[in-house]
Amino acid sequence: MKNITLLIIILFLVSCKDKSLSEIKKENNYSTFKKQTSPNGKYEIYSFCQLGTFAFSSDFCGTTIIEKGEPFSENKGYKINGRINSWRNDTLIINRFDNTLNQPKDTITRISFEKYKDLNLKIFNYGAMNSSGMKKYSFNDLNLNEKGICLKNIERIMGEDIGEYKCFAFGSFEIINSKDSLKEIIVETINKSMNFTFTNPDGTYSRNLPEISILNLHFKPTKKMKPLQKV
């Protein structure tokens, strides 16, 4: 179990107990500020979002890799320009979207590779993201192994049935703790289809268009569980 614990690389919501990170979040007016550590322990990956200044302006978000021990700054390190998908050994897998497009032209995933010092990055390149959604589930047990986390006895609350047992790779899920218990686990997934419907300016509809969606799966425990702690 000690070896498994050492491999736990999970994305955490910043807790108010972690004063330095909370101060950074407050000083920069971030709506979200998260941190995780690379499996080799050499790098820290920060993901942050700042709400748009005006009602109809876009949020400003970013993810950057900084060598461990270096103070956080948006202008330091290596900018990922994407969202963390998961870890595969010493490789960080990234989802990247084409923000120059209003709508995706297709649902093809194009793969590219980048490198920051001795850290490998595998990039899944998508067209524009044009939809998002959320689904809710419950579970009553979990297991950690060398690849990630597995949830047991899953039941559907809102969304289709996904089975009673699901596993997720490190980096792909976010742990949210309350003061003395595990509150929920959130998994971000990418869905692709040709089912998007676009409303044209004249009120007509264009159907069966490419759809690239970010779907958040919320898993809540049905019994009290201890908080999952950082390594």
CA torsion 141→145→149→150, rounded to 10°?
Answer: -50
* Residue 188 phi, psi dihedral angles, 5° rounding: -100, 125
d(CA 13, CA 60): 18
Task: List helix spans (H) across the chain.
Answer: 2-6, 19-27
Query: What was the pLDDT predicted at 59?
Result: 66
**What would the two tokens of residue 203 be?**
């009120």
pLDDT of residue 144: 80
Evaluate whether 169 touches 88 at the Cβ level (below 8 Å): yes
Q: Kindly state the tokens that stand for 10.
A: 């999970």
**What's residue 230's pLDDT?**
47
pLDDT for the residue 203: 94
Sheet holding 148-152, edge to edge: 141-144, 148-152, 166-169
Spell out the per-residue pLDDT of the chain, length 231, in tens: 444 444 444 444 433 344 467 888 888 888 888 888 888 889 999 988 887 665 555 667 889 999 998 988 888 899 998 999 999 888 999 999 998 888 999 999 999 999 999 999 999 999 999 999 999 999 999 998 777 899 999 999 999 999 999 999 988 999 999 989 999 999 999 999 999 999 999 999 999 999 999 999 999 999 999 998 644
Question: DSSP assignment, residue 185?
Answer: E
Burial of 151 (0-12, 13-18, 19+ CB in 10 A): buried
User: Which pTM was predicted?
Assistant: 0.80
pLDDT at site 40: 82
